[in-house]
Amino acid sequence: MIPKNEYPMRINKYLAQRGDATRRGADVLVEERKVTINGKLAKLGDPVYENDTVLVKGAGSKKYVYFAYCKPKGVISHSPQNGEESIEDAIRGKIREEVFPVGRLDKDSYGLIILTNDGRITERLLSPDRSHEKEYAITVDKPITQRFIKELERGVDIEGYRTKPATAKAVSENKLHIIITEGKKHQLRRMCAALGYTIRDLKRIRIMNIALGSLNPRQFREIKGKELEKFLALMGI
């Protein structure tokens, strides 16, 4: 269910949150005259209000799929340029369904990304208001101190924005695990830099209840069964 306070919203965002398509795919559905709002053909950018009836021609037969994927270093999550390899490039021909990555990992980072064709989860998973946990294994350039850990947990001022409280634990002299509930651009690298540390290696190992486990770069596994049920339940689906 879409929260009342999000209305009105553009038709492409509405269809994405409802799970009919990605935002880009929703625009295509509208352009192909397959979407109606209260019985009238929708136009690009049309607003949808809470009590509107939105129908998509041919809807109802789509099967949602979800995959845990280990993004390698050097692969771009979204919008590659100048010959860069994207996640879509990396998985082409390996996953039968047309899926997209939810969220980002920067080019120099690696680890877990969720791949799906379910547009409903994008906003629910990425919104900072929902405070979903994401866990990372990090290697820094010098020995970790207790003060460094406490500052990370308390929240760090990065260019005028104070990050939300986190959970951090040193696992060796230069390595730590940290759990955050938001995802500002290059957030962990900026947090560490503000405290005088440089990240040498950054790997995402968990998103909510989905763990990377033993997946190596470019490997993936389907999320299903009890694991999938819990994942969707945590997002209210």
Catalytic annotation, residues: 106
Tell me what percent of the chain is helix, strand and coil, each rounded to the nearest 5.
25, 25, 45
Sign of CA dihedral 14, 105, 125, 217: positive
Omega before 165 cis (within 30°)?
A: no
State the Cα angle at 168 between 177 and 116, rounded to 5°.
55
| Alpha-carbon span 140 to 18, nearest angstrom | 41
Give, as one character, the DSSP assignment of residue 86.
Answer: B
Helix axes 11-18, 23-31, angle to 10 degrees: 120
Three-state DSSP at 160 gives: coil
DSSP string, 153-193: HH--EETTEEPPP-EEEE-SSSEEEEEES---TTHHHHHHH
| Alpha-carbon span 184 to 159, nearest angstrom | 12
| Alpha-carbon span 82 to 47, nearest angstrom | 36
